[in-house]
């Protein structure tokens, strides 16, 4: 018998869970950007810290996933531009 057989999700049917990974080299700035977006879009967020990456799970309403992805892409562009300006991105 596995634990999965007894685990029930309380994620509403109109939501889904996205999994993201953040390499530790991008911490803390990129995690902070994701956290700021999660505050606006996600019902809840969980973070698992591992030595090489942080794994993030976000529970989002299905009808907001496309908007979230768009804003995440914009945030990534800002993040990269800022690091380039600081000389920390090649």
The 10s digit of each residue's pLDDT in 29-58 is 999 999 999 999 999 999 999 999 999 999
pLDDT at 8: 75
State the alpha helices, DSSP H only, in 1-90: 29-41, 65-85
The answer to whether 45 and 57 are in contact (CB under 8 A) is yes
Packing angle of the helix pair 65-85, 29-41 (nearest 10 deg): 160
Average pLDDT, the chain: 92
Taken in order of first residue, the domains within the chain and their CATH numbers are 13-84 (3.30.70.240)
């Amino acid at each position: 018998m596995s634990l999965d057989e007894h685990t029930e999700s309380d994620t509403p049917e109109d939501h889904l869970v996205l999994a993201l990974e953040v390499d530790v080299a991008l911490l803390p700035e990129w995690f902070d950007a994701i956290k700021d977006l999660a505050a606006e879009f996600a019902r809840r967020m969980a973070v698992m810290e591992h030595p090489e990456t942080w794994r993030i799970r976000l529970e989002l309403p299905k009808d907001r996933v496309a908007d979230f992805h768009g804003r995440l892409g914009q945030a990534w562009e800002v993040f990269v531009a800022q690091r380039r300006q600081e000389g920390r991105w090649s």
